[in-house]
Protein backbone atom coordinates (compact mmCIF):
# COMPACT_ATOMS: atom_id res chain seq x y z
CA UNK A 1 0.00 0.00 0.00
CA UNK A 2 1.37 3.37 -1.04
CA UNK A 3 -0.83 5.98 0.54
CA UNK A 4 -1.19 9.64 1.32
CA UNK A 5 -3.40 10.88 4.12
CA UNK A 6 -4.59 14.45 3.92
CA UNK A 7 -7.10 16.66 5.68
CA UNK A 8 -7.37 19.90 7.60
CA UNK A 9 -5.18 20.38 10.68
CA UNK A 10 -6.77 18.43 13.53
CA UNK A 11 -8.88 16.23 11.23
CA UNK A 12 -7.45 13.06 12.74
CA UNK A 13 -4.72 12.17 10.25
CA UNK A 14 -2.14 11.25 12.88
CA UNK A 15 -4.69 9.30 14.91
CA UNK A 16 -5.82 7.23 11.93
CA UNK A 17 -2.26 6.88 10.67
CA UNK A 18 -1.47 4.81 13.76
CA UNK A 19 -4.27 2.39 12.82
CA UNK A 20 -3.37 2.29 9.14
CA UNK A 21 0.30 1.72 9.84
CA UNK A 22 -0.48 -1.29 12.01
CA UNK A 23 -3.17 -2.75 9.78
CA UNK A 24 -1.16 -2.56 6.55
CA UNK A 25 2.25 -2.87 8.17
CA UNK A 26 3.73 0.17 6.44
CA UNK A 27 5.91 3.00 7.78
CA UNK A 28 4.16 6.20 8.82
CA UNK A 29 5.97 9.25 7.49
CA UNK A 30 4.76 12.50 9.02
CA UNK A 31 6.53 15.70 7.99
CA UNK A 32 5.21 17.43 11.14
CA UNK A 33 6.73 14.66 13.30
CA UNK A 34 10.00 14.90 11.39
CA UNK A 35 10.17 18.64 11.99
CA UNK A 36 9.34 18.22 15.68
CA UNK A 37 12.08 15.58 16.01
CA UNK A 38 14.57 17.93 14.33
CA UNK A 39 13.53 20.71 16.71
CA UNK A 40 14.03 18.46 19.70
CA UNK A 41 17.46 17.44 18.42
CA UNK A 42 18.29 21.11 17.93
CA UNK A 43 19.49 20.75 14.34
CA UNK A 44 19.74 23.70 11.96
CA UNK A 45 16.75 22.39 10.04
CA UNK A 46 14.80 22.08 13.28
CA UNK A 47 15.51 25.68 14.18
CA UNK A 48 14.41 26.86 10.77
CA UNK A 49 11.22 24.76 10.90
CA UNK A 50 10.39 26.09 14.36
CA UNK A 51 10.18 29.68 13.16
CA UNK A 52 7.48 28.73 10.63
CA UNK A 53 5.63 26.17 12.71
CA UNK A 54 5.08 28.49 15.65
CA UNK A 55 3.27 30.89 13.34
CA UNK A 56 1.28 28.14 11.68
CA UNK A 57 2.95 28.77 8.33
CA UNK A 58 4.37 26.16 5.98
CA UNK A 59 8.05 25.34 6.22
CA UNK A 60 9.71 26.25 2.88
CA UNK A 61 9.41 23.68 0.08
CA UNK A 62 13.18 23.33 -0.50
CA UNK A 63 13.58 21.91 3.00
CA UNK A 64 10.38 19.90 3.12
CA UNK A 65 10.64 18.19 -0.26
CA UNK A 66 14.23 17.18 0.45
CA UNK A 67 13.50 15.43 3.73
CA UNK A 68 10.55 13.54 2.23
CA UNK A 69 12.57 12.33 -0.76
CA UNK A 70 15.36 11.17 1.54
CA UNK A 71 12.90 9.32 3.76
CA UNK A 72 11.08 7.66 0.85
CA UNK A 73 14.44 6.44 -0.46
CA UNK A 74 15.02 4.35 2.65
CA UNK A 75 14.67 0.58 2.39
CA UNK A 76 11.57 0.24 4.60
CA UNK A 77 9.48 2.26 2.09
CA UNK A 78 10.09 -0.19 -0.76
CA UNK A 79 6.84 -2.10 -0.32
CA UNK A 80 4.64 0.67 0.96
CA UNK A 81 4.31 3.80 3.04
CA UNK A 82 1.81 6.22 4.47
CA UNK A 83 2.70 9.87 3.92
CA UNK A 84 0.97 12.17 6.41
CA UNK A 85 0.98 15.96 6.13
CA UNK A 86 2.79 15.99 2.81
CA UNK A 87 2.20 17.34 0.19
CA UNK A 88 0.63 20.53 1.49
CA UNK A 89 0.74 22.67 -1.63
CA UNK A 90 0.82 22.24 -5.39
CA UNK A 91 4.60 22.62 -5.69
CA UNK A 92 5.10 19.80 -3.18
CA UNK A 93 2.56 17.60 -4.98
CA UNK A 94 4.29 18.13 -8.31
CA UNK A 95 7.71 17.46 -6.80
CA UNK A 96 6.38 14.27 -5.24
CA UNK A 97 4.88 13.09 -8.53
CA UNK A 98 8.19 13.73 -10.27
CA UNK A 99 10.05 11.75 -7.61
CA UNK A 100 7.56 8.86 -7.73
CA UNK A 101 7.61 8.67 -11.52
CA UNK A 102 11.40 8.73 -11.58
CA UNK A 103 11.46 5.82 -9.14
CA UNK A 104 8.67 3.83 -10.78
CA UNK A 105 6.32 4.21 -7.80
CA UNK A 106 2.57 4.54 -8.12
CA UNK A 107 0.28 5.81 -5.34
CA UNK A 108 -2.63 3.50 -4.54
CA UNK A 109 -4.80 6.14 -2.92
CA UNK A 110 -5.01 9.58 -1.38
CA UNK A 111 -7.20 9.47 1.73
CA UNK A 112 -8.95 12.71 2.57
CA UNK A 113 -10.21 12.82 6.16
CA UNK A 114 -12.93 15.41 5.85
CA UNK A 115 -13.96 17.52 8.85
CA UNK A 116 -15.61 20.94 8.87
CA UNK A 117 -13.69 23.92 10.22
CA UNK A 118 -16.07 24.54 13.13
CA UNK A 119 -15.04 21.28 14.86
CA UNK A 120 -11.33 21.64 14.34
CA UNK A 121 -10.17 24.45 16.60
CA UNK A 122 -11.63 22.57 19.57
CA UNK A 123 -9.84 19.42 18.44
CA UNK A 124 -6.50 21.18 18.15
CA UNK A 125 -6.70 23.21 21.34
CA UNK A 126 -7.67 20.08 23.32
CA UNK A 127 -4.98 17.88 21.77
CA UNK A 128 -2.32 16.52 24.12
CA UNK A 129 0.69 14.50 23.03
CA UNK A 130 3.09 12.27 24.92
CA UNK A 131 6.51 13.86 25.25
CA UNK A 132 8.15 10.47 25.07
CA UNK A 133 6.29 8.21 22.61
CA UNK A 134 4.23 10.73 20.66
CA UNK A 135 0.84 9.13 21.41
CA UNK A 136 -2.03 11.57 20.88
CA UNK A 137 -4.91 12.24 23.28
CA UNK A 138 -7.69 14.78 23.65
CA UNK A 139 -8.85 16.41 26.88
CA UNK A 140 -12.50 15.75 25.99
CA UNK A 141 -12.64 13.21 23.16
CA UNK A 142 -9.86 10.79 24.00
CA UNK A 143 -8.84 11.10 27.63
CA UNK A 144 -5.93 9.18 29.07
CA UNK A 145 -6.73 6.90 32.01
CA UNK A 146 -4.79 9.20 34.32
CA UNK A 147 -4.95 12.97 33.76
CA UNK A 148 -1.87 14.29 31.96
CA UNK A 149 -0.12 10.89 31.81
CA UNK A 150 0.40 8.67 28.76
CA UNK A 151 -1.39 5.30 28.91
CA UNK A 152 1.36 3.66 26.84
CA UNK A 153 4.49 4.75 28.62
CA UNK A 154 3.61 6.77 31.74
CA UNK A 155 5.30 9.96 30.52
CA UNK A 156 3.76 13.43 30.84
CA UNK A 157 1.41 14.74 28.18
CA UNK A 158 2.03 18.20 26.74
CA UNK A 159 0.26 20.64 24.46
CA UNK A 160 1.92 21.38 21.14
CA UNK A 161 3.07 25.04 21.03
CA UNK A 162 1.16 25.52 17.75
CA UNK A 163 -2.10 24.21 19.22
CA UNK A 164 -3.16 27.59 20.58
CA UNK A 165 -6.42 29.04 19.29
CA UNK A 166 -4.76 31.82 17.26
CA UNK A 167 -2.27 29.53 15.54
CA UNK A 168 -4.92 26.89 14.92
CA UNK A 169 -7.13 29.44 13.15
CA UNK A 170 -4.17 30.51 11.06
CA UNK A 171 -3.33 26.92 10.11
CA UNK A 172 -6.89 26.40 8.90
CA UNK A 173 -6.56 29.49 6.69
CA UNK A 174 -3.25 28.23 5.31
CA UNK A 175 -4.97 24.90 4.55
CA UNK A 176 -7.81 26.56 2.63
CA UNK A 177 -5.41 28.67 0.63
CA UNK A 178 -2.59 26.24 -0.11
CA UNK A 179 -3.61 22.65 0.62
CA UNK A 180 -7.28 22.46 -0.41
CA UNK A 181 -6.43 22.73 -4.15
CA UNK A 182 -4.72 19.34 -3.87
CA UNK A 183 -8.09 17.63 -3.54
CA UNK A 184 -8.87 18.53 -7.14
CA UNK A 185 -5.36 17.61 -8.20
CA UNK A 186 -5.75 14.03 -6.89
CA UNK A 187 -9.39 13.78 -7.95
CA UNK A 188 -8.22 14.33 -11.52
CA UNK A 189 -5.72 11.50 -11.06
CA UNK A 190 -8.64 9.30 -9.99
CA UNK A 191 -7.11 8.26 -6.67
CA UNK A 192 -8.87 10.53 -4.17
CA UNK A 193 -10.90 8.72 -1.47
CA UNK A 194 -12.84 10.90 0.93
CA UNK A 195 -13.98 9.68 4.34
CA UNK A 196 -16.08 11.53 6.89
CA UNK A 197 -13.74 12.35 9.77
CA UNK A 198 -16.49 13.77 11.98
CA UNK A 199 -17.48 10.39 13.42
CA UNK A 200 -16.20 8.19 16.23
CA UNK A 201 -12.54 7.14 16.05
CA UNK A 202 -13.51 3.54 15.22
CA UNK A 203 -16.07 4.44 12.59
CA UNK A 204 -13.56 6.63 10.75
CA UNK A 205 -11.13 3.72 10.61
CA UNK A 206 -13.88 1.33 9.43
CA UNK A 207 -14.62 3.74 6.59
CA UNK A 208 -10.94 4.03 5.71
CA UNK A 209 -10.61 0.25 5.43
CA UNK A 210 -13.77 0.12 3.33
CA UNK A 211 -12.59 2.69 0.78
CA UNK A 212 -9.16 1.03 0.52
CA UNK A 213 -10.60 -2.43 -0.21
What are the catalytic residues?
13, 88, 127, 160, 171
What part of residues 123-182 is at the interface with ligand ADP (CB under 6 A)?
123, 126-127, 136-138, 141-142, 162, 171
Nearest approach, Cβ of residue 123 and ligand ADP (Å): 4
Cβ-based nearer residue to ligand ADP, 79 or 161: 161
Rounded to a whole number of angstroms, the minimum distance from the CB of residue 128 to Zn ion is 11
Contact pick of 109, 111, 135, 195 for Zn ion (by CB under 5 A): 135
How far, in Å, CA of 137 to CA of 143, rounded?
A: 6
Q: Under the phi-then-psi rule, with left for phi > 0, alpha for psi from -120 to 50, and beta for the rest, what region is 34?
A: alpha
Residues numbered 30 to 89 that lie near ligand ADP (CB under 6 A) are 31-32, 35, 52-53, 56-59, 64, 85-86, 88
Q: Given candidates 43, 51, 94, 133, which one binds Zn ion under the rule CB under 5 A?
A: 133
Shortest distance (Å) from residue 13 CB to ligand ADP: 3
Q: Give, as one character, the DSSP assignment of residue 156.
A: B
Of the candidates 3, 4, 6, 12, which one interacts with ligand ADP according to CB under 6 A? 12
Asked if residues 15 and 138 have their Cβ atoms less than 8 Å apart, the reply is no
Query: Can you give the three-state secondary structure of 86-152, one letter per residue?
Result: CCCCHHHHHHHHHHHHHCCCCCCEEEEEECCHHHHHHHHHCEEEECCCCCEEECCCECCCCCCECCC
Amino acid sequence: MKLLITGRPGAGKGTQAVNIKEYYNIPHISTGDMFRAAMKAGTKMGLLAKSYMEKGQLVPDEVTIGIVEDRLSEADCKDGFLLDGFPRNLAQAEALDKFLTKNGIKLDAVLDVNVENSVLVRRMVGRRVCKNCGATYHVEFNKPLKDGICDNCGSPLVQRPDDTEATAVNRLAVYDEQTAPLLDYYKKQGILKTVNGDQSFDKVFEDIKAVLK
